[in-house]
Structure 1
Amino acid sequence: MTKLFWNVLKVSPVIAATFLSANSVIAAEVNEEQASTFAQLSKEANNIGQVTSVSQFSDVQPTDWAFQALQSLVERYRCIAGYPNGTYRGSRAMTRYEFAAGLNACLDRVNELIATATPDLVNKQDLATLQRLQEEFSAELATLRGRVDALEARTAELEANQFSTTTKLKGEAIFSVSQAFGGKQADITDGNGDNDDLNSNATFSNRVRLSLESSFMGTDTLQTRLEAKNIVENDAVTGTNMTRLGYDGVTTAGNSVRIDKLNYAFNFGEKIRVKIDAVGAELNENVNVFNPDFRSSASGALSRYGRFSPIYRQAGDGAGITVDISPSDKFTLSAAYLATGRNDAADPSDGEGVFDGSNTIFGQLAFKPNKAFNIGLAYARTYQTANDVNLFGSTGTTLANNPCSDAKTEADNYGLQFTFNPNAKITLGGWVGYTTANVLTGDTSRDANMFYWGTTLGIKDFGREGNTLGLIFGQPPRITDSTKNISNTDSNATSYHAEALYKMKISDNILITPGLLVIINPEHNDSNDTIYVGTLRTTFSF
């Protein structure tokens, strides 16, 4: 209040003199009132301990003189903004710190009026009232101002040391211990059982990602993600892509750093979101895949197939544009055109580039009639150039991914996905997909049909709050029928994908996930031994 006194003296000696005189009378009244109160509460004071003011014992009631006095000041000088009619609403009791915050606002407002010497100067009665209120709530005001000073100091420190005013840095590191084991490697040829023994060692590997996310308008995001990893794919020792992990891969020379993603997303109106990928485009990153508990490579399923339907792997690691339109809360329409291949879109050679190289046209309609149920219908038209055929992004059998023996291929992919939440802790999900592939060179009458399905169950807070139990079961892509001489048909048997995992939340930044993957009849061949993959994944995020 020192500032208030000096400003009063500078502006009006008459007001200052009057104020000081009134203050002496008020101070005597306050001392008399405090003496009476101390006499009444002497026993309680001995038990509770010494306090600055007896009034600290209770909240401020609407009937208290202080409450009514501040209400009058607020409505007269509009100290507290936020009420449309400018009145001070207060039908409930306030804590003394809430009251002190309002009082502090009025003190600042009065100081401002006096300092500017406006005609609306505070009268002497209001000055006296403010002085009495300040003395009554001196402890709370001191605490409040101390907290504000600490907050301002902390804010200044953060501003001085912040990474950027427009960019946030996010990081993620995975430590993975894993081993595949079983009898023999999977055989994709004649299934005569003469394939090699499955000799695999336990591995300890890692993946690190640093993402720079910049915003220039508040609703847009420019993402630049750096990645380094050395997680060798299991198919090298098991003979089948069905055993691959959902986060595997090796950057050049192992753990070398590369730009993994570069994209820019922005709103085009209130209901349209546009994302442009320069590199690292993935459908599963741009649209809903209806598998919220297991879609993430860092915190979702351990396996590659368990993360989401293979229809979202039709275009990977390329460049293009994705548009999401949400006309209402119940419907979302997604459309995308992506040139696949890390460098194909930037290659001006014949048969490459944005439109002449491998590409995917994708569309999806998502319907969410209520909070519990969500369903999506997806279609993808895929074109893949010769020696670049991989229809399902290395999920399913080798034959299903490349049914046309590396010939130029086009495919129509149809998918149905859903998520169902019977309650807040249980999530049921699943997908089913059908693909027809046609050869575009040589005998163009050749074609093949593929089918796959999967189901998922996630149980949150299982065993402990924050933990999740996950179960995944399904059939990876397989060829159901094909024309003569296009390839062998995966008709010997049916492979089954079974996965169990348990996500343990150690803290907000550490997640440990042990799990077991079981592939029955690998490569859809019942002559192959069952293969197991045990994994312990630890994810650090910051």
Structure 2
Amino acid sequence: MFKVLWNYGLVIPVLFNVFFILSSAALAAEAPDLSELKSGVEGLSPSIATQPESNQTANLEVTKRPDYLLSQEPSLLSQETFTEQDDSLPQVNSVSELSDVQPTDWAFQAIQSLVERYGAIAGYADGTFKGNRALTRYEFAAGLNTALDRINQIIGSSTADLVRQEDLDTIKKLREEFSTELAALRGRIDAVDAKLGVIESQQFSPTVKLTGRVQFVLGSLFAGNNVITGQRAPRVVTLQDSVTLRLNASFTGKDSLGVTMGGGNIESLGQTRAGLLGTYDGRTADNANLTRPRNDLSIGGLRYRFPLDSKTQVNIYALSDGANELGFTVPINPYFESSLATGSNGISRFSRRALVYQYGDAGGGIAVLHRLNQQFQVGIAYSAPNANNPGANTGFFTGRYLALGQILYTSPEKNFRAALTYVNTYSPPNAVGLSGTNFGPAAGSNLVNSTVAGTGTVANLYGVQAFYQFSPKFAMNGWVSYGAHRYLGRGDGNAMDWAVGMSFPDLGKEGSLGGLFVGMAPKLTRLSSNVDLGAGLGQADKDLSLHIEGFYQYKITDKIDITPGFIWVTAPDSNANNPDSLFAWIRTVYRF
């Protein structure tokens, strides 16, 4: 494609004459037919100066914002919604407003005339003109639109001097010179219109969007024993799958109705005591639903979000995955969290969420979010895992519940966020949830997930989480959580976890992601002397167990990525007598 150099003007020797036209209604009849030329550039950018540089970074926040940074469907109160993005370029009223145009520049007088006499040039938002960038003939043709608009304004005002014949001749020559480009533009626009018509006729729904994800997981245990039997766990290579579909609809353009369906046969490394390792330690994140047949498609999420006003959002859900679907704007742990759109990042459940978010289970509830200002957001939520069950010790208000409050801070640069979280939760006696336990984080040691038979359990949970993006290619996150358990009528116990994660966006290839994670999975640190959770009276977890995880999510295309990774757990079940376990897998994700 032919290009000319954009040197401080609109190809000054030619367009200066165009912008210099001072016409009146008296010569309107003699002026060339501008409608034909104008129709060719209709819909294009109103000024060549408004065309962004191809290599210009639009935002330098957490900045590239790869797909996996947005781990869940954006909340209606997302920070991106709060921030008014004004990409329009301001009109320049004086050449002195352009910081990169100097009186010594060869084109200074021409630019000064175009700006201050005719108002025909716009500048970039940073106050520059960027006169040394190249433009295409198509951009040049688009720029003529500005000149034509200005000419029509002058003709319509009937206040200017007569149009000079040489200026009219210049316009005619320009129209002839760019006739090929204008015809090509019209053809491209017609082709786009035709394609748009096909899309509109064949789309799933004008108001409903369907997205999906398919995962294949090739994995195997390489080391480790079953902590209950003490026997060597099988080393069997498996190939497993999962499918997730989500329908998103909006009735007003501001609300959102989401329905999530899925199924699969991924067996978790550590999900129940009956699992491969006999412990919740090392539990993978994408395991199949324990209460459903394998590869059986079922509804896994149902929620409706709507704004009360510009600062407040309500999230009502009939079915959700505990605190993960409570409607909070952004995850504190973005590079390890998962989403339907991007597939999973972190391999384990523990690497994605702190203990304070883990005690929830699938069920119904409501969350209310309120933005205090650009930096602070508060939220409260109430969730009842057995809200649909009318039996004893169940229901929305009389069964197990989780009440959560959180304050979230996001820095003005959006490269730092932190949250303080409090949860109060209650589990009635002898109830069992979808995660295999009706109390506890469903991750970490067996004791921290245990209750006393026939006794209700209450917990107060406290969490501090933080994330910092040091550069576009390196970020860290971490958290500390503490839980105070009360086994009603029996005694108390304490739980704790902590973790540090490192993320490497664009590692090896743009869009790819590397992650390293180290932490102490949830464990029972103290137990009253008169309480027995299965290990003996007053027996809490004995030893420090470390969860070490790494993955590399390699982006093959925008819709496909492959992620090799591993989970290494030292002293599984927080017992140094248990040999370390090591699990590796390769996950392939297809999105549509």
TM-score category by the smaller chain? Answer: 0.7 to 0.9
Q: Is the 8 A contact 2:280 2:443 kept in 1?
A: yes
Q: Distance in 2 between matches of 1:352 and 1:433?
A: 28
Following superposition of structure 1 onto structure 2, how do residues 102-501 of structure 1 map, counting pairs within 5 Å?
133-187=174-228, 195-235=230-270, 236-250=275-289, 252-285=292-325, 286-287=327-328, 288-296=330-338, 298-340=343-385, 344-371=386-413, 372-388=415-431, 390-405=438-453, 407-440=455-488, 444-483=489-528, 484-487=530-533, 488=535, 489-501=539-551
| Per-residue deviation, 1:417 | 0.9
Q: Is the 8 A contact 1:74 1:87 kept in 2?
A: no
| Per-residue deviation, 1:375 | 1.6
The alpha-carbon distance between structure 1 residues 226 and 64, as it changes in their structure 2 partners (threshold 3 A), is: same
The alpha-carbon distance between structure 1 residues 307 and 107, as it changes in their structure 2 partners (threshold 3 A), is: same
| Per-residue deviation, 1:364 | 0.8
Q: Distance in 1 between matches of 2:547 and 2:306?
A: 38
Q: Distance in 1 between matches of 2:24 and 2:256?
A: 42
Q: Is the 8 A contact 1:476 1:495 kept in 2?
A: yes
Q: What secondary structure does 2:403 align onto?
A: strand
Q: What secondary structure does 2:556 align onto?
A: strand
The alpha-carbon distance between structure 1 residues 490 and 74, as it changes in their structure 2 partners (threshold 3 A), is: farther
TM-score (norm 1): 0.77
Q: Is the 8 A contact 1:173 1:207 kept in 2?
A: yes
- Worse overlay, 451-460 or 62-71: 62-71
| Per-residue deviation, 1:69 | 6.8
Q: Is the 8 A contact 2:120 2:147 kept in 1?
A: no
Q: Distance in 1 between matches of 2:483 and 2:150?
A: 71
Report the structure, 1 or 2, having the larger helix content.
1
Q: Is the 8 A contact 1:214 1:221 kept in 2?
A: yes
TM-score (norm 2): 0.71
Cα-to-partner distance string for 1:364-394 (whole Å, 9 max, x where unaligned): 1122345443221110000112223543331
- Worse overlay, 428-437 or 291-300: 291-300
Q: Distance in 2 between matches of 1:65 and 1:462?
A: 46
Q: What secondary structure does 1:404 align onto?
A: coil
Following superposition of structure 1 onto structure 2, how do residues 495-534 of structure 1 map, counting pairs within 5 Å?
495-534=545-584
Q: Which amino acid aligns with 1:220?
A: D
Q: Which runs of 5+ in 2 are unaligned?
A: 29-33, 48-89, 94-116, 123-128, 153-162, 432-436
Q: What secondary structure does 1:237 align onto?
A: coil
| Per-residue deviation, 1:70 | 9.4
Q: Is the 8 A contact 2:359 2:442 kept in 1?
A: no
The alpha-carbon distance between structure 1 residues 146 and 241, as it changes in their structure 2 partners (threshold 3 A), is: same
Q: Is the 8 A contact 2:382 2:401 kept in 1?
A: yes
Q: What secondary structure does 2:421 align onto?
A: strand
Q: Distance in 2 between matches of 1:61 and 1:96?
A: 11
Q: Which has the larger radius of gyration?
A: 1
Q: What secondary structure does 1:159 align onto?
A: helix
Q: What secondary structure does 1:241 align onto?
A: coil
The alpha-carbon distance between structure 1 residues 500 and 143, as it changes in their structure 2 partners (threshold 3 A), is: same
RMSD: 3.5
Cα-to-partner distance string for 1:496-516 (whole Å, 9 max, x where unaligned): 111121111112111111111
Q: What secondary structure does 2:184 align onto?
A: helix
Q: Distance in 2 between matches of 1:65 and 1:108?
A: 14
Q: Is the 8 A contact 1:66 1:133 kept in 2?
A: no
Q: Distance in 1 between matches of 2:189 and 2:295?
A: 46
Q: What secondary structure does 1:292 align onto?
A: coil
Q: Is the 8 A contact 1:448 1:481 kept in 2?
A: yes
Q: Which amino acid aligns with 2:550?
A: A
The alpha-carbon distance between structure 1 residues 224 and 110, as it changes in their structure 2 partners (threshold 3 A), is: farther
The alpha-carbon distance between structure 1 residues 352 and 289, as it changes in their structure 2 partners (threshold 3 A), is: same
Q: Which runs of 5+ in 1 are unaligned?
A: 1-47, 112-122, 188-193
| Per-residue deviation, 1:427 | 1.2
Q: What secondary structure does 1:355 align onto?
A: coil
| Per-residue deviation, 1:196 | 2.4
| Per-residue deviation, 1:137 | 2.6
Cα-to-partner distance string for 1:129-176 (whole Å, 9 max, x where unaligned): 876654343212211211111111111121121111111111111100
| Per-residue deviation, 1:358 | 0.8
Q: What secondary structure does 2:276 align onto?
A: helix
Q: Which amino acid aligns with 1:243?
A: G
Counterpart in 2 of 1:3? none
Q: Distance in 1 between matches of 2:265 and 2:118?
A: 65
Following superposition of structure 1 onto structure 2, how do residues 34-73 of structure 1 map, counting pairs within 5 Å?
61-64=11-14, 68=18
Counterpart in 2 of 1:15? none
Identity %: 32
Q: Which amino acid aligns with 1:276?
A: I
Q: How many pairs were matched up? A: 466
Q: Distance in 2 between matches of 1:70 and 1:254?
A: 75
Counterpart in 2 of 1:39? none
Q: Is the 8 A contact 1:227 1:260 kept in 2?
A: yes
Q: Is the 8 A contact 2:545 2:571 kept in 1?
A: yes
Q: Is the 8 A contact 2:120 2:150 kept in 1?
A: no
Q: Distance in 2 between matches of 1:73 and 1:256?
A: 74
| Per-residue deviation, 1:491 | 3.6
Q: Is the 8 A contact 2:384 2:397 kept in 1?
A: yes
| Per-residue deviation, 1:268 | 2.0
Larger RCO, structure (CA 8 Å, separation 6 or more): 2
